[in-house]
Amino acid sequence: MKKFVIAVAASAISIGSAYAASVKNNDTNAQTLVVTEGSTKTQLQVGAGETVEFCSGGCFVTFPNGDREALTGGETVEMTGGKISIK
């Protein structure tokens, strides 16, 4: 019984993984991203110190410093001092 439960647990863990991308603003002022998801461009406000989930099925993002990036969903973006790091 124990072995069975462990097997089920292990397989369930392998299924569950992150889907949406998230962006964290480490700066003291709010930042605005332009997110192109589906057929629309939207502006995404990220307040100081906030973490926002977005882009569940892949998107293009334009960051406040003018950099553009394509995300497939599942990435973690951090904005620190106007610099972008994607993991």
Residues that bind another protein (CB under 8 A): 1-6, 9, 12-13, 16, 19-20, 36, 38-41, 56-60, 66-72, 83-84, 86
- Beta-sheet pairing, 68-71 with 21-25: unpaired
What are the residues facing 40 on neighbouring strands? Answer: 37
**CB within 8 A of 11, min separation 6: which ones?**
none
Which pair of structure tokens corresponds to residue 2? 């124990």
Closest contact distance (angstroms) between CB of 64 and another protein is: 14
* Residue whose CB is less far from another protein, 45 or 56: 56
Of the pair 9, 30, the CB lying nearest another protein is at 9
